């Protein structure tokens, strides 16, 4: 058994959203809007609790819609549930949150930090989502794909 520390991964996903920063920011802090876009297209999002203020808590579940996906969930056979809290909210500029999966799997446990940065860009808003300290059981490529797909849904919602 090795005593070497586990290396935690970081991912970065960027997308141009053809909408003003205020509209994009609102989509990150309004629970109804979050439920509409914050999941890959093969999943649906349910927002259980959502208090968008520094220190405010949230709890969200993403559920696979295709029964053939049973067994892929992190929290149950078909669901990924996570909870966390908002660390920093700078209107129209930045959202920082800490979250963790609700799971018994040690490889998926631990807090991740997500920083979403919004910047003016030609034609809209550049959204950059940086995920730090991904648990070792979460493949960075899967995290990037999920966020790429979710941001594509955000673009459809706002554009």
Residue 128, classed as helix, strand or coil, is strand
- pLDDT tens, position by position, 43-88: 899 999 999 999 999 999 998 887 666 666 677 778 889 999 999 9
- pTM for the structure as a whole: 0.89
CATH 3.30.530.20 fits 9-158, yes or no: yes
Q: CA 39, 34, 114, 147 torsion: positive or negative?
A: positive
Domain ranges of the chain: 9-158
Residues 86-102 have pLDDT tens digits of 999 999 999 999 999 99
The rounded distance, in Å, linking the Cα atoms of 146 and 159 is 20
pLDDT at position 125 over 50: yes
> Which structure tokens are listed for 133?
């300290």
State yes or no: pLDDT of 16 exceeds 80: yes
Output the average pLDDT for the chain.
91
b/e map 94-126, b = 16+ CB within 10 Å: ebbbebebbbeeeebebebbbbbbbeeeeebbb
pLDDT at 8: 82
Extract the tokens encoding 62. Answer: 């993403």
């Amino acid at each position: 058994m090795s005593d070497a520390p586990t290396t935690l991964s970081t991912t970065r996903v960027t997308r141009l959203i053809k909408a003003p920063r205020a509209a994009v920011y609102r989509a990150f802090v309004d629970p109804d809007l979050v439920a509409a876009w914050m999941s890959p297209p093969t999943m649906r999002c349910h927002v259980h609790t959502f208090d968008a203020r520094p220190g405010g808590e949230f709890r969200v579940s993403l559920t696979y819609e295709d029964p053939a996906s049973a067994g892929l969930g992190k929290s149950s056979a078909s669901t990924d549930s996570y909870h966390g809290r908002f660390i920093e909210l700078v209107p129209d500029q930045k959202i920082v949150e800490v979250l963790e999966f609700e799971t018994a799997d040690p490889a998926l446990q631990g807090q991740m930090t997500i920083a979403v940065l919004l910047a003016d860009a030609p034609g809209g808003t550049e959204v950059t989502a940086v995920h730090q300290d991904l648990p070792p059981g979460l493949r960075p490529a899967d995290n990037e794909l999920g966020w790429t797909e979710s941001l594509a849904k955000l673009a459809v919602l706002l554009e």
